[in-house]
C-alpha cells in the first residue's frame, strides 16, 4: 500500500528518537522511499550516520549546514515538493509548539512550512507534559490547521512513570499513513462529515458529575463507516477509552456545552451524525471544591442543556444531511418519529436499551432507521450496523 510513496521522516529530540530508525525500516519494507530530517536536539539521542546509512540519503538538520553543497539551504523547498507525506515521529512538546506557531529555525520546522503534502504528527512526551494546557491547545491548533495527528499510546515511560506519551506502534503509524495517502472513493468522496460520539459529563464539583454509560462504540463505528464511503471525517468524542480510528481527525469534549461549541464550529459540514449521548440537564451550580457529606443538601438543582440537534435543525445549510440518534426504553418507533419531526432532521437511528444485545457499551446493536417515508431495521455488530445504515442513506 505504500509502495513507491515518498516520505519525509521528521525526528525530534526525545528519547523515542531511537525508535525512528526502526520506523524508517518499516516504511522501507512497505515499499516507501524515505528521507530524514532531524532537529539538532535529536542528534543527542541517535547518530546522524545511522539515518543516513538506512535512508541512503543525506540527513537534513540545519538550514545553513557546514557542508560544501551550496544548495543545501534550499533543501526544505526541494523536499517539500518531493514528498507525498511528511511524518514527524516522535514529535516533542517543544517541536510541536514550534510547528504550531510557524517557527522555521531548523530544517525540520522549515520543511513543515514548505511542504505541499499531508503532514502526520505523532506527539510523544513524558510526565504530565501531554496534559499541560499549552500542549493541549497546540494539539487543538494542529488539527485546526489541517495536520493529521496520531494520539500517543499509554504505558511505561522513560521517566519510570505510567501514562500517556509513548510513540504509537509502528503498524499504527503505517496504517495511519496509508489512510492519509489512499483515501477511499465512494458516495461521500469530497464530502465533510462530522460525527459525535460518547457521553457528556456535567460536573457538580471536581470529583462528581452526571453522565451515562455510553462507550462511544456506535459513534466511532459511524465515523469509520463514513470514511470508508470516501468522506473526510471529523470525530468529536466525549470521555471514552477507545483508540482513535485511523485516518480520522478527532477532537475531544467533556460537557454538553463543550460539544455544542465544537458542533457550532463544524456546523457547515455536508453531513452531521449526532451519535453522542448528550445529557439533557446539568447542575445549576458548580462547586469549586469537593462537596463534603457533612451538612450538604441531598438535592441537586438542574437546568436544561442546549438541544444541539434541535439547533442544527434550525440552522442547517442548504443540502446538508442531519442524522440523529434516539435511545428509548419504551414506544421506540413512536418516540423516535416524534423526535425526527421535532428536530427537523433527515434521519433518526432509533435503538432500545432493553435488549441485552443493543444499547450502551456492548459491541452489537439493533436499530430502526427512520426517514421521511421509510423505516428499516438493521442488526449485527455496531460496525456492520453503521455500514448498513450509511449504505442505505448514501448508497454503495
Residues in contact with 173: Cβ distance below 8 Å, sequence separation at least 6, in sequence order: 23, 26, 87, 89, 120, 122, 150
CATH number assigned to the domain comprising residue 361: 3.40.50.10300
In a domain, 54, yes or no: yes
In a domain, 174, yes or no: yes
- Same-domain status, 171 and 208: no
How high is the pLDDT of residue 35? 94
Higher pLDDT, 178 or 183: 178
- Same-domain status, 172 and 212: no
**What is the pLDDT confidence band of residue 173, given thresholds at 50, 70 and 90?**
very high
For the chain, where are the alpha helices, taking DSSP H only? 17-29, 48-55, 75-82, 93-100, 107-114, 133-144, 170-181, 217-228, 256-265, 308-315, 332-343, 382-394
Which residue among 118, 148, 181 closes a domain?
181
In a domain, 326, yes or no: yes
- Same-domain status, 331 and 205: yes
Number of domain units in the chain: 2
- Same-domain status, 68 and 151: yes
CATH number assigned to the domain comprising residue 45: 3.40.50.1950
- Same-domain status, 381 and 337: yes
Q: How far apart are CA 177 and CA 260, in angstroms?
A: 31
- Same-domain status, 120 and 243: no
Computed over every residue of the chain, the mean pLDDT equals 90
In a domain, 187, yes or no: no
Least confident of 43-52, 179-188, 191-200, 316-325: 179-188
- Same-domain status, 367 and 239: yes
**Ranges assigned E (strand) in 243-374:** 249-252, 271-274, 281-283, 302-304, 321-328, 347-352, 364-370
Domain enclosing residue 325, as ranges: 192-283+296-394
Section 10-36 average pLDDT:
93
Q: 110-141: per-residue pLDDT in tens?
A: 999 998 889 999 999 987 899 899 999 999 88
- Same-domain status, 141 and 44: yes
- Same-domain status, 172 and 216: no
How high is the pLDDT of residue 67? 65
In a domain, 288, yes or no: no
- Same-domain status, 118 and 75: yes
In a domain, 1, yes or no: no
In a domain, 289, yes or no: no
How high is the pLDDT of residue 247? 64
How high is the pLDDT of residue 246? 64
- Same-domain status, 312 and 390: yes
Q: 275-319: per-residue pLDDT in tens?
A: 999 999 999 999 999 988 887 788 889 999 999 999 999 999 999
Catalytic residue numbers read: 212
- Same-domain status, 374 and 301: yes
Q: 244-265: per-residue pLDDT in tens?
A: 776 677 889 999 999 999 999 9
In a domain, 126, yes or no: yes
The position carrying cell 491548533 is: 141
Which residue among 150, 181, 212 closes a domain?
181
Which residue among 133, 159, 181 closes a domain?
181
Amino acid at each position: 500500500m505504500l509502495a513507491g510513496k515518498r516520505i519525509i521522516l521528521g525526528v525530534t529530540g526525545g528519547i523515542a528518537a531511537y525508535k525512528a530508525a526502526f520506523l524508517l525500516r518499516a516504511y522501507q519494507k512497505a515499499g516507501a522511499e524515505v528521507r530524514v530530517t532531524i532537529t539538532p536536539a535529536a542528534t543527542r539521542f541517535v547518530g546522524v550516520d545511522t539515518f543516513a546509512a538506512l535512508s541512503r540519503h543525506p540527513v537534513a538538520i540545519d538550514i545553513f549546514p557546514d557542508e560544501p553543497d551550496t544548495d543545501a539551504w534550499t533543501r526544505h523547498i526541494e523536499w517539500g515538493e518531493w514528498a507525498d507525506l511528511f511524518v514527524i515521529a516522535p514529535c516533542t512538546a517543544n517541536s510541536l509548539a514550534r510547528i504550531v506557531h510557524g517557527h522555521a529555525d531548523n530544517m525540520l520546522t522549515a520543511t513543515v512550512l514548505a511542504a505541499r503534502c499531508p503532514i502526520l504528527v505523532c506527539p510523544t512526551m513524558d510526565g504530565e507534559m501531554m496534559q499541560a494546557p499549552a500542549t493541549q491547545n497546540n494539539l487543538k491548533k494542529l488539527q485546526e490547521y489541517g495536520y493529521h495527528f496520531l494520539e500517543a499510546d499509554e504505558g511505561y515511560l522513560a521517566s519510570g512513570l505510567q501514562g500517556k506519551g509513548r510513540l504509537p506502534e509502528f503498524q499504527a503509524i503505517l496504517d495511519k499513513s496509508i489512510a492519509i495517502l489512499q483515501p477511499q472513493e465512494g458516495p461521500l468522496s469530497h464530502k465533510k462529515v462530522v460525527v459525535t460520539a460518547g457521553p457528556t459529563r456535567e460536573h457538580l464539583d471536581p470529583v462528581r458529575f452526571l453522565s451515562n454509560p455510553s462507550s462511544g462504540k456506535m459513534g466511532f463505528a459511524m465515523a469509520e463507516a463514513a470514511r470508508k464511503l470516501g468522506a473526510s471525517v471529523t470525530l468529536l468524542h466525549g470521555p471514552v477509552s477507545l483508540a482513535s480510528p485511523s485516518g480520522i481527525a478527532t477532537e475531544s469534549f467533556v460537557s454538553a456545552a463543550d460539544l455544542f461549541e465544537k458542533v457550532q464550529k463544524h456546523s457547515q459540514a455536508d453531513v452531521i451524525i449526532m451519535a453522542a449521548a448528550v445529557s439533557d440537564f446539568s447542575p445549576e451550580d458548580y462547586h469549586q471544591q469537593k462537596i463534603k457529606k457533612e451538612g450538604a443538601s441531598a438535592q441537586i438543582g438542574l437546568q436544561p442543556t442546549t438541544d444541539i440537534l434541535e439547533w442544527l435543525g434550525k440552522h442547517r445549510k442548504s443540502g446538508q444531511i442531519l442524522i440523529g440518534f434516539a435511545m428509548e426504553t419504551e414506544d421506540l418507533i413512536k418516540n423516535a418519529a416524534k423526535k425526527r419531526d421535532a428536530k427537523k432532521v433527515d434521519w433518526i437511528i432509533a435503538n432500545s436499551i432493553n435488549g441485552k444485545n443493543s444499547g450502551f457499551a456492548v459491541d452489537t446493536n439493533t436499530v430502526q432507521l427512520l426517514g421521511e417515508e421509510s423505516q428499516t431495521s438493521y442488526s449485527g455488530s455496531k460496525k456492520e450496523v453503521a455500514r448498513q445504515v450509511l449504505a442505505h442513506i448514501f448508497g454503495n
